[in-house]
Structure formats: C-alpha cells, structure tokens
Amino acid sequence: MGKDKGPNVRERALFLFSPEKGNSAYLDRLKKEQAQSKEVTRARMASTGYGNHGASRTLNSMIGWVVGGGSAEDDIDLHGALLRKRSRDLYAGGGLARSGPATLTTKVVGWGIQPKPKIDGEVLGMTDEACGEWERATLREFKLWAENVMCDASRQQNFYGLQKLAYRSHLVSGDVFALFGMKANLRTPYQTTVRLLEADRVSTPESSEGESESKETDGGGRIVDGVEIDNEGMVTGYHIANRHPLMDNSTQTIEWTKVDAFGSKTGYPNILHVMTHERPEQRRGIPFCAAQIEQIKQLDRYLGSELAANVVSSMLTAFVESADDDGKNGMEDAINEDEKVTDDELKLELAPGAIYSLPPGKKITAINPIRNNGAFEAFVSTLQTVIGASMEIPKEVLVKKYDSNYTAARSALLDFWQTVRVYRTAFNDSFSQPIYEQWLAEAVSIGRIQAPGFFDDPIVRDAWCGCMWMGVSMGHVDPIKEVKAAQMRIASNITTEEQEAAEYNGNDWNANIRQRKVEIATANEMQQGGKNNAKP
C-alpha cells in the first residue's frame, strides 16, 4: 500500500455537511487499508523460508497446531509446582521415571565425588613439592569435615551423602537449595554447615500453599516462585518458607524469610541453587522427567492394564452350575471369610485356582481378558527408546538390559558417559566446588590451613581454591582391551597415568604409587626372608 494521501473526494464532501461523519469515514478507510497491508505481508511471509514449513499457516498438518508461547516464567516457572508433584508421584511408582534419575545419580555421584586439591603454584610462587605437600594436608583437613555428619545442619549426612541427596532431589523436583550456616560442634574444629532445602520451601510470600506464583516488588523487580530478581533481572535473594507448604500434619503458620543471594560484605553466596537451565531468564528448575511425563504415565497405565488382564485370567478357573435352588441369589466367593479384604457383597474376590458357584439358572458368558499382545515387547521397547533418547540415556542403560554385541554396548556406554560428564561438571560447579571454597575460607580464617593472600586478592584466592573432582568411572565391557588402549594413550602422550587411574576406577594415582611401594617392599622382604630360612 502507498502512503496515505489524506481524505478523498467523498470524504471531503462529507466534511462540508458533517465533519464528524467525514472524519469517521476517513478513519474507517485507513483501518481497512492497514488490514489489507498486513494480510499482504503475512501472505508474502507465509510463502518464504520457514513459512513454507514449520511456520506455515496454510499447510493442513499445521493449521490445527495452535501454540500460544510465552516467556520462561509463563512456560516453565509457573508450572513448577504441578510438575514437581507429578514427577514425584511417578518416581515413587517406579519404572522409567525412577530408573532415569536413579541411574544418573549413581553414575554422576555414586558413592561420592571426591576432591583432589590442585592449586596454581605458578601464581602462588610455590614449587611442585610444596604444592603437593599443601594439597595433601588440605585434603586431610577437608576429610575431617566432609566425612563427618557435623557438616550437615540436620546432622544426618556426611558431605558425600549430601551430594547424592542433592543431586537426586534436583532431578526429581527440578531444583534443590543448599543454605550455608555456622554451628559449633564437639567433633570437628569447623562450624560450616550445609542445609538442604526441598524445592517447595522456596516460594513466593503469601502464595497459595504449594502453588507456583509470581508478583512484582516495590523496587520494580519480581519474585518468581520464590526467586527475587531486580529490575535488571539479577537474582538478589530467595524467599524461604519456615516449613514445607504441603505438610498436612503441621499447625505452624507459614512465614517467609528472605535470604540474600550473596553476602553484602564478602560477595560470596549465602545459598546455592542447583538446577538445569533451558532458557534465558528462567528462574526455577524443571524435573528431569518433565518432558516425558505424559508418555511415562501412559506407558505405566498400559503395563498395569496388561498385568491386570493376565492376573484376572490366571484366577478365572471354573464355574459350577447347579439345578438345585439353595435359596441364594448371588454368586458365592471362593475365598474364606477370614481371608477376605472387603465386606462389600457386590464385589467378587478372586483367587488363583478358585471355583465359584453360580445361582440356579445362571450361566457365565466366556470372557477372555487376554488381548492379542504379540507386539507387546516391540511396542514397549520402542517407547523405552524414545523416552531414553529424551532423557539422553540409551535404552540399554535405562532398562539395565545389555543384549547387544560388544561394539553396540560400548557405544551406548560411551554415549551415555558424555552425558554423565556434562552433568557431573555442572553439579560440581553449582554444588561441590562452592561448598569446598566456603569450607576452605573457614579453614584459612581459623588458622588450620596456611594460605597467604587468600582474603586479599581474588586471583590468589582462586589459585588456592583450585580443585579437581573425581567420581565413579564409566565401567568396562572388556577390561583387557581398555587397559591396552590406556597404555597406548599414555605411551603416545595423549593422556597421563594420573588421568587414566581416575578414569578407570576413580582412584588417586599418587595414592596408588605410595601403596605399591609399600606392597613391593613387603613382598621383597618376604622373599628375602624365605631365602634366608631355606635349608642348605
């Protein structure tokens, strides 16, 4: 459409008799021209690029696909409460919704992701020997704190138990929070504690119990399901309820306390938020199985119905017809009175191998509850593959069934192990490493560990805080082949013996060498003693 040239002849004539009518006619014409212009633009866009495919408004397969779409807050954060409830229900019922989080927890965390301090000697001006001595001493101190339940504010788990619980909770509920605190104890010299908070405890003040809600703050920011952000989108704090909002047996009134995300004097985190980010401006996490909730629920229903059909079929054995009238009008249960689970006379209880009596003149029409399920296994296997792909877990790993050859099984494990490494790195960055740094700060401040310049220069602090985190290894399909491959990688300088020891079974190469020295020396002494005691 061209540029508007003002009122036409007809509209000018109307202005002479009625300026109001003339102006109305002019505005109506402009609206029609603008609408026509938009339609032309839409038509032109619909015939180019994605307009011919995924963004088409004319393809029959796409016309019925109505999508609203919204911000991360609308699409994710405000659905959190319902997703958490459904995810936990599926997890409690077992099946794939339990296998996925349980498998990842076992592989990512296992018996604990162990720290191995690795400080930057170049920045600190220390020799390799001095670095090694400091690292060993620091690790001993960390074990004193981490392997004791005093590190847990609830005094239930040691640090590695907290790792496992935090990771599993983050998968099932979408996110988990770790609140730092200080609490003296008689078993260790350290007061640093970690308190894990379930996802529901962080919620918007005055919100409906257990619901995900958001609202604006007086300063122009927002509180999104308990996470407060300023007007620039920076997370400034978390609102924590004094009790779980879904607790039925509590008479305690729910109150909220805001915890600043970072200390006002130190700048270090007061609370850790472990979650997986899918979109920018996302404030709350998503349960691991959220994208597969519908498929998993439908699969569970299908498996349940097949199981019920087979159970009923195994119990419907025989019915007895009688011409004699015994005065009873209904069917008699074949279950002893003391074994019945219900007093409802309208319900017939089943039992394996039972024989039921029919009233006179009554006959049973044959009902076979078994369906033709010849494709049952193939159908379930396909669903397991699709659900596993969405979880980034190969079907073989998800269902713990390795019925393929060595190459296929190893390919599945290698593919899965890339996922494990990504998740383990993310978890260490958001949980393990910040807790280690918080503990180390206390250890330095009370003089248990010497770290000059720790509180003076951020670069120096980072140099002291260097730490590797080693978890369980991938496992082995053919150990002999894998050991030979490791030897070739070391000989070609592709990797190191220390890296291979950590990758193979999570061991510490330095500890292995020290232990081997002891074992070799002991073996030599025993051999020498045997020679001396031999008869001439």
pLDDT of residue 121: 94
DSSP string, 334-399: SS-GGG-S---TTPPPP-TTEEEEPPTT--PPP-------TTHHHHHHHHHHHHHHHHT--HHHHT
- HSE-CB of 468 using CA atoms within 13 angstroms: 13
Regarding predicted confidence, which is higher, 171 or 219?
A: 171
Residue 33: which pLDDT band, with cuts at 50, 70 and 90?
confident
The most confident of 131-140, 398-407, 408-417, 506-515, by mean pLDDT: 131-140
Backbone angles phi and psi of 14, in degrees to 5:
-65, -35
Cα→Cα distances 186→138, 142, 189, 190, Å? 21, 17, 8, 9
pTM of the model: 0.79
Check: CB of residue 202 under 8 Å from CB of residue 225: yes
| Residue whose C-alpha is closest to residue 75's, from 261, 283, 243 | 283
Residue 158 and residue 142: Cα distance in Å, rounded?
A: 12
What does the pLDDT look like over 347-356, one tens digit per residue? 556 666 565 6
228 pLDDT above the threshold of 60? yes
Tens of pLDDT, residues 80-100: 999 999 999 999 998 999 999
Average pLDDT, the chain: 84
- Give the closest residue to 298 by CA, choosing from 90, 154, 479: 90
- Span 43-57, average pLDDT: 71
- Whole-Å CA distances, 75 to 80, 212, 230, 275: 9, 12, 20, 16
366: confidence class by pLDDT, cuts 50, 70, 90? low
Task: Dump pLDDT digits (tens) for 433-451.
Answer: 999 999 999 999 999 999 9
What was the pLDDT predicted at 331? 52
Residue 357 confidence (pLDDT) above 90: no
Q: Quick: pLDDT tens for 387-415.
A: 999 999 998 889 888 777 777 877 888 88
pLDDT at 315 over 90: no
**Does 222 score more than 90 pLDDT?**
yes
DSSP string for 35-74 = HHHHHHHHHHHHTSGGGGTTT-SSSHHHHT-------HHH
- CA distances to 7, 17, 21, 23 from 13, in Å: 10, 7, 10, 11
Confidence of residue 250 (pLDDT cuts 50, 70, 90): confident
pLDDT at 441: 96
H or E segment to which residue 194 belongs? strand 192-198
306 has a pLDDT exceeding 90: no
Tell me what the mean pLDDT of segment 252-264 comes to.
93
Helix (H) or strand (E) holding 91: helix 80-92
Q: Which backbone phi and psi does 277 adopt, to 5 degrees?
A: -90, 130
Task: Report the pLDDT value the prediction gives residue 452, as an integer from 0 to 100.
Answer: 95
Judge whether 436 and 272 are in contact, CB under 8 Å: no
Domain ranges of the chain: 9-63, 301-377
CA distance 507 to 517: 16
Can you tell me which residue has the tokens 């394996």? Answer: 352
Question: Does residue 23 have a pLDDT over 80?
Answer: no
pLDDT confidence tier of residue 471, bands split at 50, 70 and 90: confident
C-alpha 391 chain-centroid distance: 10
